[in-house]
Amino acid sequence: MLLGSGRIIVFTPTPFVKILKRQTGRMAVEKHFYRGAPQERHQARRHREILRLCSGLKGSLFDYGCGWGDISFALSTNHKVQAVDVDPERVRFAAEQYPEVAFSVCPEDGSGVSEERFDIVTSVVVINFTDPDVYLKEARRILRPGGHLVLAAKVEPPVRTWIKSKMGVGLDCETFVRYRPTRNQLFAKLADHGFSIVKTGSFYDPPFDQWRNPRDAAFKFGEQVWGALGAHWPAPYCSALATI
């Protein structure tokens, strides 16, 4: 590009793309969140588990912390779905990609909807980023009597942590996590808020994610064995279907 002063600027796309990403935010969204894109492995595991727990449930559904909206959309095949998130950028993207679902921004300490409004509340890896007591109280408030909560959360299985420390495997990078319970602590928290557990489950990270060295690879391999054996207690993600 030739400027008036006679200086020539070589215009490479990289900084331009970076500026665009910063300005719009949209280009930073990973491609698997776009409508019709092939699912990424972790996303596929999350979807499978949530759809399994929701199968057989009927009625209106509230996705509380919907992120980029892909799970809300998947659930909208069988339910009338309303979805919220605290992040306006995610909500804007979700509403653009999945217009069938009613998306809106919610405050940090509430859902923004009236009480006893929904038959099902889904919460997929959201509670870890909240004050769990505020969040679960709100989830319960908006459920109709007899309604269901479908919850997935990242957990910290003591055995997994112990093995990781022995193997020198690095801790996951989770700067924003506020609440990381064990599986039993999570179930106890649900009970404290008046939920009865109907069904539980778990899922694992995919085998080829987050390899930094051979120890990571060995750990991930071991994890796949536990996962294939259907062991819930060492899994990094716990799931539950609960009712009030």
Q: Which is nearer to ligand SAM, 113 or 231 (CB)?
A: 113
CB of 211 to ligand SAM, least distance (A): 21
Beta strands in the chain (DSSP E): 61-64, 81-85, 102-105, 118-124, 143-154, 196-203, 237-243
Measured from the CB atom, the residue of 93 and 187 that comes closer to ligand SAM is: 93
CB of 106 to ligand SAM, least distance (A): 5
64 touches 121 (CB < 8 A)? yes
| Residue with smaller CB distance to ligand SAM, 46 or 140 | 46
CB of 110 to ligand SAM, least distance (A): 8
* Residues 205/236, Cβ–Cβ less than 8 Å: yes
Question: Across the beta sheet with 237-243, what order do the strands follow?
Answer: 102-105, 81-85, 61-64, 118-124, 143-154, 237-243, 196-203
Shortest distance in whole angstroms from residue 108 CB to ligand SAM: 5
**Taking CB positions, which residue lies at the least distance from ligand SAM?**
67
Instruction: Quote the CA–CA distance of 26 and 46 in Å, as a whole number.
Output: 23
Residue 166 tokens, joined: 């022995």
If the CB atoms of residues 129 and 203 are measured against ligand SAM, the closer one turns out to be 129
**Given the rule CB under 6 A, which residues bind ligand SAM?**
46, 65-67, 71, 85-87, 90, 106, 108, 124-126, 129-130
Minimum CB–partner distance for residue 226 and ligand SAM (Å): 22
Cβ atoms 234, 182 nearer than 8 A: no
Q: Is 197 in contact with 188 (CB distance < 8 Å)?
A: no
CA 142 vs. chain centroid, Å, equals 20
CB-wise, 153 or 242, nearer to ligand SAM?
A: 153
Least distance CB 214 / ligand SAM (angstroms): 29
Residue closer to ligand SAM by CB (options 79, 90) is 90
User: What is the rounded distance in angstroms from the CA atom of residue 30 to the CA atom of residue 209?
Assistant: 15
